[in-house]
Structures are given as C-alpha cells and as structure tokens.
C-alpha cells in the first residue's frame, strides 16, 4: 500500500507583499543559530545581499524589528534576533503545525475508508 503524505506551504502577506513564510522563517532560525547573516545565508544557500533584502523587508513590515545588526568591534559584529523575531518564529511554526494537522484530519475524514 502506498504511503500517503500531505504537504502544504503557507505564507503571510501584508498589503500584497510577502511578509513571513517558511524560507524567511528558516533564515531567521539560522540567524539565531549562527549569530551571523553571512553564515545564515550560506547555510540556506542564499547570497548575503538577498538575505539582507529579506530581513529588511520583514523588519519594515513588522510592528518592531525582527533582526538587529550589532556593530563591529574587536571581535567583529554580528546579527541577532529580537524578542519579536523569536516570537514570530514560534508563532509561525505553530501555525504551520496546526495547518498540517487540520489537513491530515480533513483528508482522513473524506478520503480514507
């Protein structure tokens, strides 16, 4: 019997522009993990410039910044998430899980005998 798997992708737009989706949240997670935009961009397979464009877009649309850049110094600078950035990750991942659970439940109701 073939294995059946349900997949879905969700994203949130603000005023018709992408705000948060799986790719952007993954970027935020990698920024949090590495403390570096350069390392996060490499890990996701994206250019540094593209990563910063996405971060700037998210920061501009959010009620408060999700990511802040720390100035360089003796040990160099870095990039970190704000509390709002961490909250956005948590809430998006919860929404993803609820969405997937809903779809599995609905599929089982209608399609599995």
Q: What is the mean pLDDT of residues 24-34?
A: 97
Evaluate if residue 113 carries a pLDDT over 60. no
Evaluate if residue 106 carries a pLDDT over 90. no
Q: What is the 3-state secondary structure (H, E, C) of 6-52?
A: CCCCCEEEECCEEEEEHHHHHHHHHHHHHCCHHHHHHHHCCCHHHHH
pLDDT, residue 14, reads 93
Residue 35 near residue 78, CB atoms below 8 Å: yes
Evaluate if residue 73 carries a pLDDT over 90. no
Evaluate if residue 72 carries a pLDDT over 90. no
List C-alpha distances in Å: 112 to 2, 53, 107: 13, 44, 7
How far apart, in whole angstroms, are the C-alpha atoms of residue 29 and residue 57?
16
pLDDT, residue 87, reads 97
All structural domains of the chain: 21-68+76-100 (1.10.10.10)
Evaluate if residue 76 carries a pLDDT over 80. no
| Cα Rg, the chain, nearest whole Å | 17
Q: Which two tokens stand for residue 87?
A: 């909250």
Residue 74: pLDDT band by 50, 70, 90 thresholds?
low
Q: Higher-confidence residue: 89 or 69?
A: 89
């Amino acid at each position: 019997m073939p294995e059946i798997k349900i997949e879905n992708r969700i994203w949130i737009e603000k005023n018709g522009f992408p705000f948060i989706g799986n790719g952007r949240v993954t970027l935020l997670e990698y920024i949090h993990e590495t403390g570096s935009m350069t390392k996060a961009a490499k890990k996701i397979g994206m250019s540094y410039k593209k990563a910063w464009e996405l971060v700037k877009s998210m920061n501009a649309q959010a009620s408060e910044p999700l990511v802040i850049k720390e100035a360089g110094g003796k040990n160099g600078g870095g990039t970190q998430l704000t509390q709002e950035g961490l909250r956005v990750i948590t809430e998006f991942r919860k929404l993803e899980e609820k969405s997937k659970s809903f779809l599995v439940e609905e599929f089982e109701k209608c399609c599995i005998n």
